[in-house]
Structure 1
Amino acid sequence: MKNKNIFIPNLMIFLIILLFSTAAYSAPSLSLIYVIQQGDTLSEIAAEYEVDLNQLKTENNISNEASIRMGDELVIPQNNKENRETEKKGKKKLFTEYKAQKNKLTFAINTHYAARINPGQQAPDIDKIPEDKIIDYYVGPGDTLYDLARDFSTSIGTILALNDKENSFLRTGEKIRLPIHNLTSHQILNQRVSKQELDLLARAIYGESRGEPYVGQVAVAAVIINRVLSRQFPDTFAQVIYQSGQFSAVSDGQINLTPNQTAYRAAREALNGSDPTNGALYFYNPRTATRVSFFRGRRVITEIGDHVFVE
C-alpha cells in the first residue's frame, strides 16, 4: 500500500508534465510577412525589423535587391527580442481569433500562422490572373496559407483576395481557389495529379523497371511525365500509359501488379521535378526490344541500368 501511495502522486506529476509538454508542442508557429510598399528598400526593411540584411535575403531567396516589387511579400526572420515580442502578440491574437471561431474550423496541431503586415493595405491585383490559371484546391490536413503560397509561387495576400478571406484560418476539406499562373507546366501537373494517377504511374514504374537501380526507376517515371507534358503525346497519364504498343508492362499485364514503396517514391520524386534523362521521351532495353530500328537516328541522351533513354 505504501508503494501504491507513492506511485499515484508520481503518476500525477508525470501526467501534468506530459500535458504541459504537449501544450507547448502543439502551439502554432508564427511568421511575420511584410508587404513591400512603394519606395521600400531591403536595407530599410532590415533596419526597421532589426534583422540582418543577408539573412533577410537568404530567407526570401533574393539575390538581386533591385528585383523586389511593391506588393511582394517578405518573410521577416524571428531572431531578436523585438520580433519575439511581436510574435507573442501575434500568437495571443491567434488564440483570441481561434476562440471566436472554434465552432467554424478545424484547429491543427503545429499550425503555421502568418501575421501579415501591410501598412498601405493595397490589395493584390488579382484581375490580371486569367480564370483558366486558377484551380479549385481542397485543403488537406496540415495545409496553411503560408505553405500554399510557397508551393504555388504566389503570395498569402493573393490567396486571401482570391477567396475573399480576412484571416489565414483553413478547414480541412475546405475548397479554395489557388493561382497557377506562376508555375511551370511540370509544377502544375504535380499540383493536379490525383491519387489514382499516382497509383497508375507507380504501377507503370514497377512493371517496367522494378529490377533497375532506383535512379533508373525515376528515369522511367520522368519519361512518362515528359510524354504527358509533350504535344506529341496524349495529355493524361492513363492515355499515355495505355497508348497502344508503347509500354511492355501494359502488353504483358505487369501493369496490374501491386507496386512497392520504391516505385511510389520514384513516382513522387519525378513529379517533384527530378529527371535523370534530361527530357527523354523514349526508353528501351537493347537486349530485349523488338523494334530497335525505331530508335535509330534518335539522339541517345543517357544510359541507366539496362535502359537507353532517347529523344
Structure 2
Amino acid sequence: MCGIVGVVSTAPVNQLIYDALLLLQHRGQDAAGIVTQQERKFYMHKAKGMVRDVFRTRNMRALPGNIGLGQVRYPTAGNAASEEEAQPFYVNAPFGIVMVHNGNLTNAKQLRAELADTDHRHTNTDSDSEVLLNVLAHELARATSGAPLKSVDVFKAVRAVHKRVRGSYAVIALIAGYGLLAFRDPYGIRPLCIGHGADGSVMLGSESVALEGNLYTLERDVAPGEAVYIGLDGKVQAEQCAEKSSLHPCIFEYVYLARPDSVMDGISVYQARLNLGESLAKRVISTVPPSEIDVIIPIPESSRPSAMQLAQLLGLPYREGFVKNRYVGRTFIMPGQGARKKSVRQKLNA
C-alpha cells in the first residue's frame, strides 16, 4: 500500500511530482523517491523518510526533465529498514526502465525463481516490486526482439505480465526515450487514476486528490487490466490487456487507507464511510439495545464519518473520546508492532 504518481508535461515536473507526493503522504511514510528524464538520461533521488525530509532544494535542482514519476512507500514486502528498497527501481535493459509499484505480489517467490533460472535476470533485494520490474523488462525485450519500441509492443508485454503475475499491482513505469506506461491488475485491487492539466499535460496517481490538489482535472480511473501508454509528445493510448477483468477493489482503501476527499472507481471515499456507519447501525441494533449505549466515539481520523452516521441513525450523542496529536504520522503503516504501539501512545490521549 503505497502512493504513486507519474507526469508527462512540456515543463519541468520535479516540483509537480513533489507536490503530488505530499498529497499522497498518508499512503506511505517509510521512504520516498522521484525520478525524472531529460534527453534519455534518468535523474533519481530516493531515501528513507517523509517527503519533506527526503527532498531538499539541492535534490530538487538535480531532477531536471519534463517527464517523471514518484512514490511514497509503505513496506508490505521486503525489508523495511533497507534504503535500497526505496522506489523507484531501475533496470538498464531493455531501453532503460524505472518503475514505481503499489501492491503485493502473491507469487513473488515463484517469479523470482523463474527470473533466475529461465529469464536469466538478477534481482538484488527482497522487494516484490523489483521482481515485477524485471518481469516487465523481460516481456518488453521479448515483445520488441531488439527492434525500436512501438505501442503495440508495450501492450503485448503488459498482456504477458498479466499472465505471469498474481496479486495486486498498480504500476507506473518510465521507458527511456519513449514515454510513460501505467497499468493495473485485472481485478483493480489497487487504485490508479488519470487526469489532464490546462496545458495538456497528463498525470497519473493513486488517488484523485493528487490530481485535484495540483489543479488537474480527473478524467477517469484506469480500468482493471488496462494499460495506458503516454508518449513523450503527450499522446495517450490505452488498451485492455487482461483476458478476464473485473473490479474487486481493496475494501481497506475505503475503510482506512485513502483520503476521505478522494473518489476511487467512481465511489466517494467519504460516502463509503458514511455507508459503513449505516451498515454498522443495523448490526448494532440487532445485537445491542441502543438504550444501553452512552455515546458514540470515533478513533480518529478514518472512522469519524462512520461514527457520525452511526450516532445520527441511533439517536445517540457523538463525542470525541480521544484527542489526536497531529504531528505523529499514521500509526498503522509504521514498520513493526513496537513502533506502532509506541506511536499510538504518543498520538492518542483520552
TM over 0.5: no
Superposition TM-score, scaled by structure 2 size: 0.28
**Greater helix share, structure number:** 1
Higher strand fraction (1 or 2): 2
